[in-house]
Amino acid sequence: MGNNTETSRNSRFCDEFVEIVQLILDGEASEEHKNRFNDYFMKCGHCISYYNLESSTVEFLKKKIEQEKTPVPDGLANEILSKIQYMA
């Protein structure tokens, strides 16, 4: 029974961690989020693995986007906006 409580508690914190990781990687984390990240999550093996995977993925995507920057065709933004307005 104690294991279920521990698992439930860790799962709750790990769910919270997913949200905080996204804020950190997006550069939108508050000081409270950063402190929570450093104080608790970096002591949890599952959380550390998740953070490493997410940060590696973000870095890879940033590099890939930089390598393949292609200019946006003229008029594309207006075409998208007109289709959105048509749908609304």
pTM listed for this prediction: 0.58
Annotate the chain with DSSP letters as a single string: -HHHHHHHHHHHHHHHHHHHHHHHHTT---HHHHHHHHHTGGG-HHHHHHHHHHHHHHHHHHHHHHHT--PPPTTHHHHHHHHHHHH-
The span from the CA of 15 to the CA of 39, in Å, is: 16
For residue 87, pLDDT over 90 is answered with no
Residue 16 near residue 44, CB atoms below 8 Å: no
pLDDT tens digits for 2-33?
444 344 445 555 777 888 899 999 999 999 99
